[in-house]
Every structure is written in structure tokens, then in C-alpha cells.
Amino acid sequence: MHKSLRRLFFGFGTGILCCSAVFAEVFTVEANVLYYDTENSDSTDEIEYGHEEQLLSRLKNNSEIDTLVLNSSGGLVAAAQDMADLVIDAGLNTHVEFVCASACVSIFLAGKARTLALGGKIGFHKGWWDAGSIEGYYNSEKETKGWATPFDFASWLYEDTQGEIFTEFEYLLERGVSAGFSIKTLKAGSDGMWYPRRRELLEGGILRD
């Protein structure tokens, strides 16, 4: 999803054991492992604002944490990016036991080591912004932004979208993802999800020990 809608929605192996219980909380700490699960939480089913603050609090209160286990189908891009910055800063490893898709992948890529359990999935799709939301954003922001006509808005949107794509591509390369794989993630359909096989994830630099 386009960054102007970050306030809207974006849009297992290797020796780490995932807790099988259904958690009421989105974050759960067990020894040196922090679990982040939006799929089984009682409070939310997506990455959202406030989760970055909860992550920071858990890390400050549990200095022994070295691994973040993710289970999420995505959510708010800006919140995921803030969480990714914290993961990088803390030098955490990331692991996926079940699923990590859409905005969740930004958090996963922040890991120092990045692992995927047998049967786990990592999903990609390009950003999207539906026509109704575009119209709503234009009408609500045109006076503040100084858009006299929809064509002024379209000009801004064209330039802003290019900047967003560049920023996303730059982050993928920074995290060691190959240029070829990065291009594939930016071309993945917005109306579905691309789940590459493990070999592709390894060769593309998504997974690393």
C-alpha cells in the first residue's frame, strides 16, 4: 500500500521452538525468545500502531531476549517499519514458525539471522491503494496539501509513489536481499500473495543463518 495510507492497511526449523498455545497478548516472552503473534491475539489480527511501543518495552524489560518469533499476515506499514528499526537496533534474530506476510516481512528482514520452520511461509505482494480510499484521501487533504485540482494530486502521487518504491527497494538491498529477488517482490501481485519456496528464499537472501 502507498505510504500515504500507512495510517490504513498495507497493505519453521533451525532449532527454535514456538509455543503452541493461543496467546491472549500479541507479545509473549519465554526465556530469551519474544513471540509476536497477531494471528491468535484477542486484541488484534494485524500489525498496528502501539505495537512498536510494546516491543520496545519488552526489550527494555528483558535484556536476555535475542530472538523474535513472528506470526502475522501483515498490517500497518509504518508500525512494521518502526518495529524493524528496533529489531535492527537490538541485534535480534528473527524466526517464522507459521506465517509472515506483507508488512510482517519488513520486521523479519530486520533480523541478524533469519530462519523459517518446516512448513512455514513468507509472503510478498506489492502495495495497493483502492480508488475509494484515494478519493477519500484527496478530499480530506486537498486543502492542507494545496491541491487545486485532482491533476495536482495525481502529480504529487506519481512522484511520491516512486519515492516509496525506491525506499522499499533500498531497504531490501540493505538487508542483504539480492537485486533480482527484490525486483520480484515489487512485481508480486497486489490482489494475492507470493509465497516463494525455501530454495528461492535462501538464494534471494531472505533467509540467512
Residue range 80-99, pLDDT digits in tens: 999 999 999 999 999 999 99
Report the C-alpha gap between 93 and 162 in whole angstroms: 31
Does 173 have pLDDT greater than 70? Answer: yes
Percent of the chain with pLDDT over 70: 87
Residue 97 parent element (H or E): strand 93-101
Averaged confidence pLDDT in the chain? 88
- Name the residue with higher pLDDT: 133 or 105: 105
Q: Quick one: pLDDT at residue 14?
A: 39
Q: Which amino acid is at 40?
A: N
Q: Quick one: pLDDT at residue 26?
A: 96
Residue 164 burial (CB count, 10 A): 17
Reported as a pLDDT band with limits 50, 70 and 90, residue 12 is: very low
Does 59 have pLDDT greater than 50? Answer: yes
Does 1 have pLDDT greater than 80? Answer: no
Say if CB 65 and CB 95 are below 8 A apart: no
Q: Quick one: pLDDT at residue 191?
A: 65
Does 107 have pLDDT greater than 90? Answer: yes
Q: What residue has cell string 507459521?
A: 98
Model pTM?
Answer: 0.83
∠ CA(71), CA(76), CA(77), 5° rounding?
A: 95
Q: Quick one: pLDDT at residue 15?
A: 42
